[in-house]
Amino acid sequence: MPESPLTGAIRQIGYVVDDLDTAIAGWLELGVGPWFVLRRIPQRADYRGEPCEVEISIALANSGDLQLEVIQQHGDTPSIYTEFLDRRGAGFHQLAYWPVDFGETLRKVKHAGWPVVWANAEEGGVRYAYVEPPAPVATIIELMEFDEVTEGLSTFVAAAAQNWDGSDPIRAMN
């Protein structure tokens, strides 16, 4: 069996949905929250080697140490999100690893032959990439650079979930 280019724990599970608020409501029924929501944010990325610009809304919450992400794309611009919805419908999309050495992990993933299908094109900021793994465990593996921004946000979201009493279940971040 070949050695995986990935190290560390799975830090996040991501879902792509048609309706962010309906998805959040479902998670709230399971007692997961509070949810931190960013609405209608522009995202520029390379989609299968071509530049792409979409507008998305995302929501983040934790269940224990595991972060959950829900993503809704607005509009029908071809992207990794519309591709998934067209092929499979709303649901589980990605497992995310947060490597400290993003560049080295991405190099190892590419060397292993995993196609990079979505990667941020912005200069500066936190780097991320979606890759297609050979194993059918997940459609996409997300690599999100673990730096002070990622760490701060993940700590903030996880702390809010600890001992959450159900109040203020949806919290805007923009």
Paired strand residues for 119: 46, 129
Give the residue-averaged pLDDT of 61-67: 97
> Does 106 have pLDDT greater than 90?
yes
Q: How many beta carbons lie within 10 A of that of residue 60, not counting itself?
A: 24
Q: Over 80: is that where the pLDDT of 1 sits?
A: no
pLDDT band at 131; cut points 50, 70, 90: very high
Q: What is the CATH number of domain 12-163?
A: 3.10.180.10
What pLDDT shows up at residue 124?
Answer: 67
What is the reported pTM?
0.94
Q: Report the pLDDT averaged over residues 33-53.
A: 96
pLDDT of 7 reads: 86
Q: Which residue has the tokens 């279940």?
A: 169
As a whole number of angstroms, the distance between CA 12 and CA 101 comes to 17
Q: Annotate 68-91 with b (16+ C-beta within 10 A) or e (fewer).
A: bbbbbbeeeeebbbbbbbeeeebe
Confidence class for position 136, pLDDT limits 50, 70, 90:
confident
Instruction: Return the closest-CA partner of residue 15 out of 81, 88, 91, 84.
Output: 91
Model pLDDT, residue 123: 63
Query: So where are the chain's domains?
Result: 12-163
Q: What percent of the chain has pLDDT over 70?
A: 97
Strand 170-172 with 50-63, pairing: unpaired
Distance of CA 23 to the CA centre of its chain: 15
What is the pLDDT at residue 174?
85
Dihedral (CA of 134, 143, 60, 123) sign: negative
| pLDDT per residue as tens digits for the range 27-39 | 999 999 999 999 9
